[in-house]
Every structure is written in structure tokens, then in C-alpha cells.
Amino acid sequence: MDELYVKPGNVERGWNDPPQFSYGLQTAQGGPKRTLLNKRVAHPQVSGAHIGPSPGPPRPTPHAVHSTPPTNPAPPPRPCGTPGPPPAGMATPPQPAAVLQSAGPPEGQSEVAPGLDDVVALFNWALVACRQSVKKHICDDMEKRIRLFEEMWRSGKLSLPVRRRMNMLVQEMKNRNWDASDEIHRALMVDHVNEVSQWMVGVKRLITETRNLPPELLSAEEGAKIESNNSSLPVPE
């Protein structure tokens, strides 16, 4: 849900700035079949067709017939009793429906907000595993950035979508789905760079180093990690 959205462009800085797509939406292959906009109409003069008023029901130009446009225009045709059915070929809007109006998915979700402790516990597990074989200065750097991430979460500087997706990221890491966690980190960096840029590169490095560790190092730590995991509570805002 968090990964697929469109929000308006920055019309303050760029005139007619186009809307911004989330990483997930941009990288999605294909989608619902839409009208393929590639046809043209030949000018009647050249093809030898009858030259006359343009096709379609003739309509008086507002300027010619009315001095001012009507202030209470006749309402649009209603679905029942309209001359024709709603136009075919109009597919449903892309999922989700938040298009150009809202700045992202609504805050009130039925799921519980993710707990920081879970996330940090997993990162700590990975860090400890890495310290066995990865160079010290790299581990120190990774740890520094994880702490920064932790600090930002605790002080409420991270938005809900970021927190939620970080939780998903660590779940993927826990299940050894390294490519999936990598993809989530990439999407977060593209969609929320201003929130994550300072520490995300540490997470990236952690994923890379952890996936390259020999398996016995990871499973040895797994037991220790499960012990320290307590039941998660929603983090108070």
C-alpha cells in the first residue's frame, strides 16, 4: 500500500511540474490496459471527403449566443436515463485510488504501528554476526548509522510509511530474502530520501555484508536473538 502512490509535483518551483510516482509504481511492469493514444485523423480536404461543418452535433459557441456563461449550468447527464451508457474503454483507476489529490496513503490504518524494538533487535543480530568477520571500521560505520536511525525513530522524525516499510525490510532480512530487502531499501531511498539519506546507506551495507556471511555465523546468533525478543508494543507517538 505504502509503495504505490502518486503525489502532485512541486508547482511552487516548477511550472506545470508533473506528478511524482513512487518507486513501486514506476518499476511496475505493465498495468491495466489503457487506451493506446496513437491514432490520428486525416484532414477531410486531402482525403477528398466532404468539406463542411465538423462532425458531431452542432453547438452554438458560447460567445456568439450567450453574453455570459450561465451561472447555474444545466447539470451533467445522469447515469440512469442518459442518451448513452458511460463510455466503454474507461478502465478503473489504477490501484490505489489516491491520485493527485492526497499526498500519500491515509494515516489511520487498521494494523498496529510497527515496534522499534523488533527492528533494532534484528539489526543488532546482524551487526553482531558481521563483527565476527567484517572489518571493524565498516561495522562501526554501520552501527553508527543504525543508531542514528534508531534516534530518528524515537524522536518521531520518521513518518509512518517509512517505519512500516523498515519493519517489512527487517522481516525480509529475517527470512533471508536478501533481494527483497534490498529492493525495499532502494524504494525507501527513492521515495523518502530526505528522511532516510543519512542512515540508509548503513542499512544497505548491512544487508550486503550479512548476506555474504557464512551460514553458520547467522544461525548461531539466531537463537540468541529469539531469546531477547519480547512481545512488541506499539511505539507511542
Partner 1 sequence: MATYQDFIQQNEERDGVRFSWNLWPSSRLEATRLVVPVSCLFTPLKERSELPPVQYEPVLCSRANCRAVLNPIQVDFKAKIWACNFCFQRNPRGPPSPLVFLYVVDTCLEEEDLQALRESLQMSLILLPPNALVGLITFGRMVQVHELSCEGIAKSYVFRGTKELNPKQIQEMLGLTKPATPGQQALPSTLRFLQPVHKVDTNLTDLLGELQRDPWPVAQGKRPLRSTGIALSIAVGLLEGTFPNTGARIMLFTGGPPSQGPGMVVGDELKTPIRSWHDIQKDNARHLKKATKYYEGLATRAAENGHSIDIYACALDQTGLLEMKCCSNLTGGHIVMGDSFNTSLFKQTFQRVFSKENGEFRMAFGGTLEVKTSRELKVSGTIGPCVSLHTKGPCVSEIEMGIGGTTQWKVCSLTPSTTLALYFEIMNQHNAPIPQGGRGAIQFVTQYQHASMQRRIRVTTVARSWADAQSQIQHIESSFDQEASAVLMARLGVFKAESEEGPDVLRWLDRQLIRLCQKFGQFNKDDPNSFRLSESLSLYPQFMFHLRRSPFLQVFNNSPDESSYYRHHFVRQDLTQSLIMIQPILYSYSFYGPPEPVLLDSSSILPDRILLMDTFFQLVIYHGETIAQWRKAGYQDMPEYENFKQLLQAPLDDALEILRLRFPMPRYIDTEHGGSQARFLLSKVNPSQTHNNLYAWGQESGAPILTDDVSLQVFMDHLKKLAVSSSA
> Considering only residues 39-98, where is the footprint of partner 1 by CB under 8 A?
39-43, 45-48, 53-54, 56, 58-62, 69-70, 73, 75-79, 82-84, 86-91, 93-94
Tell the smallest beta-carbon distance from residue 22 to partner 1 (Å): 10
Residue 202 makes contact with partner 1 by CB under 8 A: yes
Q: Which stretch binds partner 1 (CB under 8 A): 160-168, 194-202, 210-218, 227-235?
A: 194-202
Report the residue number, 93 or 214, with the smaller CB distance to partner 1: 93
Q: What nine digits make up the cell of 168?
A: 517489512
Report the residue number, 8 or 115, with the smaller CB distance to partner 1: 8
Yes or no: say if 5 and 105 are a contact pair by the CB < 8 Å rule.
Answer: yes
DSSP 105: S
What DSSP string runs through 15-84? TTPPPEE-HHHHH----S-----------HHHHTPPPSSPSS-----HHHH-SS--SSPPPPPPSTT-SS
Q: How many helices (H) and strands (E) does the chain have?
A: 9, 2
Among 67, 110, 155, 194, the residue binding partner 1 under the rule CB under 8 A is 194
What distance in Å separates the CA atoms of residue 103 and residue 20, rounded to the nearest whole number? 10
In the range 91-150, which residues lie near partner 1 by CB under 8 A?
Answer: 91, 93-94, 99-100, 137, 141, 145
Yes or no: say if 188 and 162 are a contact pair by the CB < 8 Å rule.
Answer: yes
Tell the smallest beta-carbon distance from residue 197 to partner 1 (Å): 5
Report the residue number, 157 or 219, with the smaller CB distance to partner 1: 157
